[in-house]
């Protein structure tokens, strides 16, 4: 929009400005929409095909990132419309209990979801037996870092069982404990 001393558009070859942000998002209900802000310049009308290029860029970027494309056309965007992902991570790290952090971690990468019911049961029984010494007196305890890893896996297992909506007794039958 800047003009030179003669009053002409200073950069007539720029029809559009496009800002892509991966560090901020616009909250849309439960979604965290990563913005692509497109600003039409005053010379864009001279190049009718330029908007098609911007549309294609937007579509390809969403597909590349693996995100659903949601198009909004607000007249004005304010800073208050966005939140920083880093601020959320700081909030999360300080305000949530460890098990909730672990559950969120699992939801981001549900690696147990590929297991069928039998494989999940085998995984759960094996993990239960690895954890058992941590809670029973006079049994040799695993190293602390190993015990911590088992507890993380246990929380992930609980989240997967909850996600599937199955009874924990089916995953850990009493005859296998």
**Degrees, nearest 5: CA angle 79-39-80:** 10
- Are residues 114 and 74 part of one domain? no
> Residue 81: pLDDT band by 50, 70, 90 thresholds?
low
Among the candidates 39, 60, 84, a domain finishes at: 84
pLDDT of residue 84: 73
What band does 47 get if pLDDT is binned at 50, 70 and 90? Answer: confident
One domain for residues 79 and 100: no
Q: How many domains does the chain have?
A: 2
What residue numbers bound the domain in which 53 lies? 16-84
Same domain, yes or no: 107 and 171: yes
Pairing of strands 24-28, 31-33: antiparallel
Single pTM value for the model: 0.47
What are the angstrom distances between the C-alpha of 97 and each of 91, 131, 153?
Answer: 11, 21, 16
């Amino acid at each position: 929009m800047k003009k030179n001393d003669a009053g002409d558009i200073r950069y007539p070859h720029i029809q559009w400005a496009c800002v892509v942000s991966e560090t901020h998002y616009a909250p849309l209900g439960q979604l965290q929409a990563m913005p692509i802000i497109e600003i039409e310049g005053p010379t864009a009308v001279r190049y009718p095909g330029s908007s098609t290029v911007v549309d294609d860029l937007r579509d390809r970027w969403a597909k590349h990132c693996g995100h659903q494309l949601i198009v909004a056309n607000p007249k004005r965007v304010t800073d208050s419309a966005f939140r920083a992902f880093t601020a959320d991570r700081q909030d999360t790290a300080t305000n949530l209990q460890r098990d909730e952090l672990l559950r969120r971690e699992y939801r981001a990468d549900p690696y147990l979801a590929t297991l069928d019911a039998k494989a999940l049961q085998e995984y759960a029984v094996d993990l239960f037996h690895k954890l058992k010494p941590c809670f029973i007196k006079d049994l040799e305890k695993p190293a602390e870092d190993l015990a911590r890893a088992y507890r993380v896996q246990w929380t992930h297992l609980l989240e997967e069982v909850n996600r599937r909506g199955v009874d924990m007794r089916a995953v850990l039958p009493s005859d296998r404990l």
